[in-house]
A = this chain, B = another copy of it.
Amino acid sequence: MNGIEITNITKSFGDTLALNEISLKFEPDKIYGLLGRNGAGKSTLLNIITNRLFADSGDITIDGQTSVENDHAQNKIYLMSEKNLYPRSMNCKEAFNWSQSFYPNFDLDSALKLSRLFGLDLKKKIRALSTGYSSIFKIVIALSVNTPYVLFDEPVLGLDANHRELFYKLLIEKYSETPFTAIISTHLIEEISTLLESVIIIKNGKILINETCETLMHKGYSLAGTAKQVDDFIRDKEVIGIDTLGGLKTATIIGDLDKQHLPESLEIANLDLQKLFIKLTNEE
């Protein structure tokens, strides 16, 4: 009975069906990628899990208890979202203290250490933070809050490449020390793909994919070689992406690799999760 269990959740906004009979389970101590296009319903789902929105129908349980208006269940979850719920006139340090009063396991020492690593100015008011530092402020809380379930909605919005790399590293370190359930919704799919154990793709309010990352990565492969070699090999394959650089070509292909007929000169690499995502979620 452990984990977050979502059963037949439906939610509409006016005429728009945002979530259509979604059922899904998040198991304890795993890292999930919750992927989808803008407007697919990811944030709606995260907001329903955390009682910021209420479903039209369906049930959610957290470790076996209903999620709805249940403080005991909600105290096990932290949602880092684009919307900032902290009073905008507080500075970052005050906000950390405030977090402690809601989340008794909030680790202030960790928050101060992470702030140093990211270069977050603790005296800065929340309203004065740039897009990138607003994300960092929320990342610091999410990585210090010590709830068994942490939901990240677009955690790296506005972060530079160095800070994104630091976030991925700190998340993995934290998870290795004290495993927890991380549900990460992000548009930077390729960067995060090596962190994920399972991938859920939502499309138009429905679950399109719910598989381990390993299973998903075996749905196809990439290969590289001279343009002619690649063109010859892919003629009868389902190609979802082509990159060309000088005379070299890389193709991303869906399907099993036919090793018998593969010319030795072609190089094989893993499937690019972002390319697969684009292919699966593009509207025709």
Contacts and interface: CB of A to CB of B under 8 A. Distances in A.
Interface in A226-284: 243, 245, 267, 270, 274, 277-278, 281-283
Given A158-B154, A187-B160, A245 B194 contact: yes
Contacts of A163: 37-38
Contacts of A282: 162
A194 B243 contact: yes
A12 interface: no
- A154, A161, A245 — most chain B CB neighbours (10 Å): A161
Interface residues of A, number: 34
Contacts of A154: 158
Given A38-B130, A157-B157, A243-B194, A278 B82 contact: no
A209 interface: no
Contacts of A245: 194, 270
A269 to B, nearest CB: 8
A278 B165 contact: yes
Contacts of A187: 132, 158-161, 164
Q: Give the one of A159, A162, A188, A282 with max B CB within 10 A.
A: A162
Shortest beta-carbon contacts, A-B, top 9: A38-B132, A37-B160, A38-B160, A160-B187, A162-B278, A161-B274, A161-B278, A161-B189, A162-B282
A167 interface: no
Contacts of A131: 82, 157
Contacts of A165: 278
A133 interface: yes
Contacts of A158: 38, 154, 157, 187
17 contacts: A36-B160, A37-B160, A37-B162, A38-B130, A38-B132, A38-B133, A38-B159, A39-B130, A82-B131, A119-B283, A131-B157, A157-B157, A159-B187, A161-B274, A162-B281, A164-B187, A267-B267
A39 to B, nearest CB: 8
Interface string A181-194: 00000011100001
A200 to B, nearest CB: 15
Nearest to A130: B38
A186 B126 CA distance: 24
Contacts of A133: 38
A274 to B, nearest CB: 5
